[in-house]
Amino acid sequence: MAIHRGRGFASINYPIGMNLGGDPSQALVHSNPGGKFMVALSSIDLGQGMKSVTRQIAAETLGVPVEDVYVDTADSDTGPHCMGSFASRGTHRVGNAVIQAAQEARSVMLEAAAEELEVDPADLVTDGKGNIHVKGAPSKSITTAEACGAAQFKQGRTVSGRGIFLIPLSEVDADTGEMTPVSCFAHAALIVDVDVDDETGEIDVIQMNSAYELGRALNPRLVEQQLVGGAWMGMSHAAWETTEPYYPERSHGPLDFNTYLMPGPGDIAPHNIAILERPAPDGPFGGKGPGEMCANPVLPAMVNAVFNAVGVRIDELPITPEKVLRGIRANGGAQPQGRRG
């Protein structure tokens, strides 16, 4: 028996959003008289953090503390239209719609504050802590709560805003495939180390090192959640999962989590992640969307690592012990390709 260590590499980019139908999303923002803001969406939070990232985007744009913002989603009676949470569109599309809505609401809030302070709204800034003051004169100030209260009770203004993000329709050319696929791209490169048992074909993932470029990290902890969980799913796709283990033969499909294989908590390996942030020109504060792309480089990196370890090319996923073992047999034994790094 021998265990062979192998190292594989892959790099990818990932299109943010969909390129069908203009990919619209809308947002509505309004404040109550106490200066607390509600963001109304029909977008979905399926764990990726939609409610949280749009809340931060709204707070930043409004210039108020994040505690003063709450995101309500998703109710079709109150939340304006959104295509949905898929295609890595949430942060980018909905984030942009929230910015537009929050900007409009902010401008009303500043107009209200200006009227109270008897200054030009253009001279006003927010401190992000709940105050609005004249640029360069922090003492000439009013709280956001006072401004919003005055707007509603004294001035008859609605501190509210509407936002939409829409990409102009783009034809896909039938003959050449010319199109405007999406608006921006995230990037990743990943190196995975695996051990391959040349008698059983079993693989252990030993370590991952990666670099992800995903525009501005709008919330580093949410980014971390996506990347750590996404790499696990990438591992899982590479070497565990399928609903049809003998595809295209349609038999022995798993019916439960015992036979639908996924790595358990004892299969995970250390993962060292570096994050690069090249802001997307059209992204909300330069953000892109890390949610989907983070799994992608792991699949090819794993098959490349298996090749490096034992000289077997696995061209059909998932990499089962059986496929590895058949490959080793076909080659007349393991053929380690030499260490990298």
Partner 1 sequence: MSIEFRKEYFADERDDNLNEVGKPTQRQDALGHVTGRSPYFDDHLFDGLLHIRCVRSPHHHARIRRIDTSEAERMPGVVRIITGKDVPHNLNTLLSLLDFGLDDEPLLSDKKVAYKGEPVAAVVAETERAARDAVAKVRVDWEELPAVFDVEDAVKPGAPVVNEVYPKNLFVYHGRYDHQKLRYGDVEAGFRQADRIIEGRYQMSPIEQAPTETCGAIAAPETNDRYVVYTSTQALFFSLDTTSKLLKTPSNRLHFIGGTVGGGFGGKVDSLHEPMAVLGTMLTGRPCKYIFDREEEMQVGAPRGAERWYLKDGVMNDGRIVARKFVGYFDSGAYTRLSSYAIIKGVGHLPGPYTIPNVYADVYCVFTNRTPATAMRGFGITGVDFAIEAHMDKVAHEVGLDPIELRILNAYRDGDMKAHRRLAKNTALIECCQVAAEKAKWPLSQAASQASSLRDGGGERGRLPAHTATDQNGLVSGFTAQSYAKKSRATQPSATPPPQMARHESAPVTPRVEQPRPQPVQPASAPPPPPAATEQRHTRFSSISGLRRR
Partner 2 sequence: MPVKVETYDRVEEAARALSASRSARFLGGGTLVMRAVNAGDQSFDTIIRLRDPDFRTIRMQGDGLVIGAGVTMAALVANRDAVFLAPVARVIGGPAIRNMATVGGNLFASGNYGDLAVALLALGATVQLAGSGSRSMPIDEFLRDRDRHATSLVQSVTVPRPRDPATFRFTKVSRVKPKGVSLMSIAALLPQSGGRVQGARVAYGAMGPMPLRAIAVERALEGQALDAAAIDRAAALAVEGIAPPTDALASSWYRAEVAGVHLKRLLAGERR
Partner 3 sequence: MAKKPVQFRLNGSEKAVFVDEGQNLLDVLRRGVGDLTPKYGCGQGTCGTCTVLIDGEPHLSCLTLAETIDGRQVSTTAGLARGSELHPLQAAFMDGFAAQCGYCTPGMLMAASALLERNPDPSREDIVEAISGNICRCTGYEPIINAILAAAKAGGARRYG
Residue numbers of the site for partner 3 (CB under 8 A)?
46-49, 221-222, 224-225, 228-233, 256-258, 262, 264-266, 268, 271
**3-state SS track over 189-250:** EEEEEEEEECCCCCEEEEEEEEEEECECCCCHHHHHHHHHHHHHHHHHHHHCCCCCCCCCCC
Site for partner 2 in 287-316 (CB under 8 A): none
- Please give the structure tokens belonging to residue 305: 């690592």
CA dist 55 and 72 (Å) reads 10
Closer residue to partner 3 in complex, CB, 127/241 = 241
Closer residue to partner 1 in complex, CB, 9/111 = 9
Based on the shown chain and the rule CB under 8 A, indicate whether residue 128 belongs to the binding site for partner 1: yes
Least distance from C-beta 291 to partner 2, angstroms? 25
Least distance from C-beta 151 to partner 1, angstroms? 21
CA dist 137 and 237 (Å) reads 57
User: Phi and psi (nearest 5°) for 60?
Assistant: -60, -45
CA dist 223 and 276 (Å) reads 11
Least distance from C-beta 225 to partner 2, angstroms? 22
Least distance from C-beta 323 to partner 2, angstroms? 9
Q: Write the DSSP string, 237-289.
A: HHHT--S-TTTTS------STTTS----TTT---EEEEEE----TTSGGGB--
Least distance from C-beta 50 to partner 1, angstroms? 8
Site for partner 2 in 314-333 (CB under 8 A): 320-322, 325
Q: Which does 274 bind (CB under 5 to 8 A by kind): partner 1, partner 2, partner 3, none?
A: partner 1
User: Which chain residues interact with partner 2 by CB under 8 A?
Assistant: 1, 3, 197, 199-202, 240, 245-246, 252-254, 258-267, 320-322, 325
